[in-house]
Chains A and B, each alone.
Chain A
């Protein structure tokens, strides 16, 4: 795999992890608010 592809892949993984984390935080606050 080319270095640029590898960087893109890591960028995608990080982006996905951030998206999941943001979604989980959103759900957490939603649950907290509606307890």
Chain B
């Protein structure tokens, strides 16, 4: 079976179905709290004894290679997704189908190589695109159809490189930009990047939100330092990827679905008053617990379902639990866990990183904050060198047919080398295969076959969004032109010929070459 755990690791790993079954009971691994040892040390011992699932998620139908997904069907290499089907190589797919190589795509159909897009159909390379149909290479476009290589357009049709054409002229010119050919695809990509760099961008992707700071926010209110918060996030701070009525929460990585009062959690849904927990859902009043399903009042527990009043997986009565819990919290303060670097972990701190079940390079943090082995080891965290890969390459990516129409079905039998060939720092798999569904999809989308492995494709896609850091900057509109002089304004703004005085917090770092405008100047130019 495939697993998120290292094969030679110390953990007992069950397959997802067995782990979720009633054939075993995590309470059998329960133990008394030992007041002579720090809590985190006891927790780690419990971690090593309680079986762990190879992959997490619920209701995955014919999706053996999906992880942390809820109700997905016929999906392959799909992670953190919700009610989606017939998709491959996607991350955080929501209510979508027939979507490949995408990252946070919502309610879409036939999307390829897209990122942060909502309701798109037949779109290749759609970044921050909403309600777009039959288009390729879009950035921050809304309500567009039949467009190619456009940035910042609203409700447009037949546009090529931001230029409006007649239907006939568009049909004629689009014949040249046939992205079914890899050479033409590369040419289009280069042209798109130069257009992207010469066009101003809004300081943040914020839609229908009030009193917020962060990036990629939709229908949110009173949120600070939040990133990728969608649909009813209210009164939250330090959040990455949350949504569906999440309220009054702090320090969240993936959480939501009618949750409130979450603090320092990762991947918890439909829960209230949860602190320092990982995974799980439908729970209340849990602390320091992993994968607690429909449970309440758990402390230091792993994998419990439908339980109440447990500590270190041992069942207590309500009275015993309420008596013991304050003593444990006091003990955590009196005998804190001290890691190799001398950091002190008392009650109120998240789990020490060095006790994690995963090495740094295997975690979600690595693509966003890449670190070398020396840096990771200096922090006292785990490092595991990637497994050596020696796939028998049967086809070099350079020898792939240029046009998708020239690709025969026999390509599904080939092991293709990744164009990066392990030379990048993107967890390159060095080789990849094209499966039948994927080939059919590329044919349907009329797009050239990829030359990179899925991991390299993922890293390339992430480069289209900024990291989770806000910089205080001034609007780059200088009156007639942008600050670097590459863009000439088409309308006059409220500040007329003077530089715009507006300041904002943006994820675009000052070193980045993009032109960044405030909301007023951006709307003046493009809306």
B interface SS class: strand
Which of A9, A19, A34 is within 8 Å of B107, CB to CB? A19
CB of B286 within 8 Å of the partner chain:
no
Is the beta-carbon distance between B245 and A8 smaller than 8 angstroms? yes
A interface SS class: helix
Is the beta-carbon distance between B131 and A9 smaller than 8 angstroms? no
Is the beta-carbon distance between B119 and A23 smaller than 8 angstroms? yes
Q: Considering the chains assembled together, what is the distance between the CA atoms of A19 and B139 in angstroms?
A: 22
Is the beta-carbon distance between A27 and B121 smaller than 8 angstroms? yes
Is the beta-carbon distance between B244 and A12 smaller than 8 angstroms? yes
Is the beta-carbon distance between B107 and A1 smaller than 8 angstroms? no
| A 13-35 binary contact with B (CB < 8 Å = 1; else 0) | 00010011001001100100010
Is the beta-carbon distance between A19 and B258 smaller than 8 angstroms? no
Is the beta-carbon distance between A30 and B133 smaller than 8 angstroms? yes
Cβ of B232: which chain A residues have Cβ within 8 Å of it? 8, 12
The count of chain A contact residues (Cβ–Cβ below 8 Å) is 13
Q: How far is the CB of A16 from chain B (nearest CB, A)?
A: 7
Cβ of B245: which chain A residues have Cβ within 8 Å of it? 5, 8-9, 12
Known: A8-B258, A16-B107. A27 touches B133 (CB 8 A): yes
Known: A12-B232, A30-B133, A30-B145. A23 touches B107 (CB 8 A): yes
Is the beta-carbon distance between A12 and B107 smaller than 8 angstroms? no
Q: Considering the chains assembled together, what is the distance between the CA atoms of A20 and B96 in angstroms?
A: 10
The count of chain B contact residues (Cβ–Cβ below 8 Å) is 15
Cβ of A8: which chain B residues have Cβ within 8 Å of it? 232, 245, 258
CB of B85 within 8 Å of the partner chain:
no
Cβ of A30: which chain B residues have Cβ within 8 Å of it? 121, 133-134, 145
CB of B109 within 8 Å of the partner chain:
yes
Cβ of B131: which chain A residues have Cβ within 8 Å of it? 23, 26
Cβ of B109: which chain A residues have Cβ within 8 Å of it? 27
* Chain B, residue nearest A20 (CB): B107
Q: Considering the chains assembled together, what is the distance between the CA atoms of A1 and B282 in angstroms?
A: 9
CB of B231 within 8 Å of the partner chain:
yes
CB of B95 within 8 Å of the partner chain:
yes
Q: How far is the CB of B155 from chain A (nearest CB, A)?
A: 12
B7-36 with Cβ < 8 A to chain A:
none
Q: How far is the CB of A1 from chain B (nearest CB, A)?
A: 6
Q: How far is the CB of B121 from chain A (nearest CB, A)?
A: 5
Known: A5-B245, A12-B231, A27-B109. A20 touches B95 (CB 8 A): yes
Q: How far is the CB of A33 from chain B (nearest CB, A)?
A: 10
* Chain B, residue nearest A34 (CB): B134
Q: How far is the CB of A10 from chain B (nearest CB, A)?
A: 11
Q: Considering the chains assembled together, what is the distance between the CA atoms of A12 and B131 in angstroms?
A: 19
* Chain B, residue nearest A19 (CB): B107
Q: Considering the chains assembled together, what is the distance between the CA atoms of A17 and B338 in angstroms?
A: 50
Cβ of A9: which chain B residues have Cβ within 8 Å of it? 244-245, 258
Interface residues of B (CB under 8 A from A): 95, 107, 109, 119, 121, 131, 133-134, 145, 231-232, 244-245, 258, 260
- 7 closest A-B pairs (Cβ-Cβ)? A23-B119, A27-B121, A30-B133, A5-B258, A8-B245, A9-B258, A20-B107
What are 14 of the A-B contact pairs (CB < 8 Å)? A1-B258, A5-B260, A8-B245, A9-B245, A12-B232, A12-B245, A19-B107, A23-B107, A23-B119, A23-B131, A26-B133, A27-B109, A30-B145, A34-B134
Q: A8-B232, A19-B107, A19-B119 are in contact. List 13 more A-B contacts (CB 8 A).
A: A5-B260, A9-B245, A12-B231, A12-B245, A16-B95, A20-B107, A23-B107, A23-B119, A23-B121, A23-B131, A27-B109, A27-B121, A30-B145
Interface residues of A (CB under 8 A from B): 1, 5, 8-9, 12, 16, 19-20, 23, 26-27, 30, 34
